[in-house]
C-alpha cells in the first residue's frame, strides 16, 4: 500500500514541479517579473516532491487508521492544507532587490495547488479502490 502511494506521491510531485517551472517561465514572459532568486527551478521541484511524499505518508496513515473513510478525510485535509498554504506566499517577505513583490503571490499561489491536482489526477492509475 505504502509503495503504491509513495510512487504516486513522487510522480505527482515531480509532475507538479515540472508544471510549476513551466508556469514560472510563462509568468516571467507575461509579467517581466523574475523571482528565480527565491523560487528557483530546483526549489520548485523539491518543494513539490516534498508535498507529494508528505501526501503519500498522510494517505497511507489515514487509510490504515480510518479504513474506507480514510480517503475522504485525506482528500478533505489535502485540499484544506493546500488552500491554507496560500497564506505563505502572501505573507512572504522578499529580498529588497526584487522590485515587484506584489507579483510574487500571483506566481506562487497556483503552484501550491499543483501537488494536489497531480495527486487527484494520477491516483486512479496507481491506487484502485
Query: Would you tell me which residues interact with another protein (CB under 8 A)?
Result: 90-96, 98-105
CB of 94 to another protein, least distance (A): 5
CB of 87 to another protein, least distance (A): 11
Which residue's CB is nearer to another protein, number 68 or number 96?
Answer: 96
Angstrom distances, CA of residue 10 to CA of 13, 20, 36: 5, 15, 23
C-alpha Rg value of the chain to the nearest Å: 16
Which grid cell sits at 16?
Answer: 507538479
CB of 102 to another protein, least distance (A): 3
Which grid cell sits at 100?
Answer: 515587484
Which residue's CB is nearer to another protein, number 35 or number 74?
Answer: 35
C-alpha 102/C-alpha 69 separation (Å) is 41
Which residue's CB is nearer to another protein, number 96 or number 128?
Answer: 96
Amino acid at each position: 500500500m505504502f509503495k503504491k502511494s509513495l510512487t504516486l506521491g513522487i510522480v505527482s510531485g515531480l509532475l507538479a514541479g515540472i508544471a510549476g517551472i513551466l508556469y514560472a517561465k510563462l509568468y516571467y514572459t507575461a509579467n517581466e517579473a523574475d523571482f528565480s532568486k527565491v523560487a528557483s527551478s530546483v526549489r520548485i521541484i523539491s518543494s513539490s516532491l516534498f508535498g507529494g511524499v508528505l501526501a503519500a505518508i498522510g494517505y497511507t496513515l489515514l487509510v490504515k487508521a480510518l479504513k474506507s473513510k480514510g480517503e475522504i478525510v485525506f482528500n478533505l485535509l489535502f485540499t484544506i492544507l493546500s488552500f491554507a498554504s496560500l497564506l505563505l506566499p502572501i505573507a512572504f517577505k522578499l529580498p529588497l532587490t526584487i522590485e515587484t513583490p506584489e507579483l510574487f503571490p500571483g506566481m506562487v499561489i497556483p503552484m501550491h495547488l499543483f501537488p494536489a491536482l497531480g495527486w487527484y489526477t494520477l491516483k486512479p492509475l496507481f491506487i484502485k479502490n
